[in-house]
Amino acid sequence: MTIVPSVELIRRTLDTEAAYTLSRLRVLERLDGNPVGVRYRKVGENGWALTAEHIPVPSFNTVVGLQAGDEGELEAVLAWYREHDVETQVEIVPGLEDAKLLRELTRLGYHQSGFHASVIARPQDAAAPEPAIDVVHVTSADLLEDFLDAYVAAREIPEGEEFKRNVRPWLQEPGWSLWLGRVGGKPVTEAILYLRDGFAYLADAATASAFRGRGLQSALLAHRLRHAAEQGAEYACSSASFLSTSHRNMVRAGMHLQFVRALWTAV
């Protein structure tokens, strides 16, 4: 069934993405002494300024959910990032912006430097998962350790044991479900599904480099879409670099381009 783009769907997508990222950040914020420097603040009615000062990941250090009328808050928000010596990016989503917002970003020394695609689907319309590929829903402590092994390997995280210690609460986070893919019993790929208010967000999928190109990511997409449908989600969304392998896999899984957001960074 065709999904007709609308401001309401865009807004729900952004709210779900922001809620997921805040959930991730709050897991780190709860660590003793907040060692990674998690901070966040509202911007306007629907926007957020997010930062994890000691983790240089763009999605953790970004301004999201801006809309026309928020331009008056930008100078103070961007100064807040500079106070904490954090490089940030600002996301601009078509359909929510206006010329005043873009002119203010330009005045403050920002320029458009990239694009990021948002895709959407009705999960009940998705194809069934391929049974030949070993994908499991992570529901136990033992499977969590396999999931974290796959996560660390896929992203080549240097401080793997510290990372695992910090994120083991993911298994109990409200709205989260973790998914693990194996080859010959070896954990090699993983992904996360986040559910909130009848909306699903497909997040953080990655595969160890030696096992890419085998359909593992497509299998993880299919399993998460099926689970989202079983949980009653009306829509499922995700995001990826435009025309990347991830973007193409999502299209093959039946997800449709919803919008392409513009990424703005300091000159």
The 10s digit of each residue's pLDDT in 94-139 is 999 999 999 999 999 999 999 999 999 999 999 999 889 999 999 9
Model confidence, pTM: 0.96
Question: Over the chain, what is the mean pLDDT?
Answer: 96
CA distance 1 to 227: 19
User: Is pLDDT above 80 for 42?
Assistant: yes
The first and second tokens of residue 228, run together, are 């989202």
- The ranges of the chain annotated as CATH 3.40.630.30 are 123-233
Q: Is 33 left (phi over 0), alpha (psi -120 to 50) or beta?
A: left
Q: pLDDT-based confidence at 4, cuts 50/70/90?
A: very high
HEC string of 227-251 equals HHHHCCCCEEEEEECCCCHHHHHHH
Sign of CA pseudo-dihedral 158, 180, 216, 23: negative
Helix then strand then coil, in percent of the chain rounded to 5, is 40, 30, 30
pLDDT at 130: 87
User: Is pLDDT above 80 for 1?
Assistant: no
pLDDT at 109: 97
CA distance 137 to 207: 16
CA distance 243 to 115: 10
CA distance 25 to 3: 31
User: Is pLDDT above 80 for 35?
Assistant: yes
Q: Which amino acid is at 129?
A: P
Question: With contact defined as beta carbons under 8 Å apart, do 191 and 202 qualify?
Answer: yes
What CATH class does 123-233 carry? Answer: alpha beta
The 10s digit of each residue's pLDDT in 176-227 is 999 999 999 999 999 999 999 999 999 999 999 999 999 999 999 999 999 9
pLDDT at 2: 85
Q: pLDDT-based confidence at 7, cuts 50/70/90?
A: very high
